C-alpha cells in the first residue's frame, strides 16, 4: 500500500434492536405441589445447568414437579408451541439462555 492510499473501514457495531419493556411475571407464593418447566433454549451448556437445577429440586424439594423441555429449534427462533404448553400445564419456568 502506497503512502496516501485510502482504505475503507466499516463500523462492526451495528444497530441495537428496539426493546419493548415487559414486566416480570408475578412470583409464586410457594413451590410445593407446583410444576416448574426447565426450558433449554439450546444455548451453550444451558442443558447442563438445567439438569443440575432439576437434581436440586429432586433432592431438596421433592414436592415440586420439574419438566425438562428443549425448544424445537435454536434460541434465535421463537417456539410458540412450547410457551403455550407451559402456560397450559406449568406454574412457572426457568429459561436457560446461556452464560
Measured in degrees and rounded to the nearest 5, phi and psi for residue 52 equal -65, -40
Mean pLDDT of the chain: 90
pLDDT of residue 1: 62
Q: What is the pLDDT of residues 7-55, one digit of tens each?
A: 888 888 888 888 899 898 889 999 999 999 999 998 888 899 999 999 9
Q: Identify the CA nearest to 73 among candidates 81, 84, 85.
A: 81
pLDDT of residue 51: 95
pLDDT of residue 98: 62
pLDDT of residue 45: 85
Q: How many CB atoms lie within 10 A of CB 35?
A: 15
Rounded CA separation 81/78 (Å): 9
Amino acid at each position: 500500500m502506497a503512502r496516501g492510499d485510502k482504505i475503507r473501514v466499516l463500523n462492526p457495531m451495528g444497530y441495537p434492536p428496539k426493546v419493548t419493556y415487559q414486566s416480570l411475571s408475578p412470583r409464586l407464593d410457594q413451590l410445593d405441589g407446583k410444576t416448574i418447566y426447565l426450558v433449554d433454549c439450546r444455548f451453550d451448556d444451558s442443558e447442563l445447568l438445567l439438569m443440575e437445577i432439576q437434581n436440586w429440586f429432586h433432592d431438596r424439594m421433592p414436592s415440586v414437579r420439574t419438566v425438562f423441555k428443549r425448544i424445537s429449534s435454536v434460541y434465535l427462533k421463537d417456539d410458540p408451541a412450547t410457551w403455550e404448553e407451559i402456560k397450559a400445564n406449568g406454574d412457572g419456568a426457568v429459561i436457560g439462555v446461556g452464560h
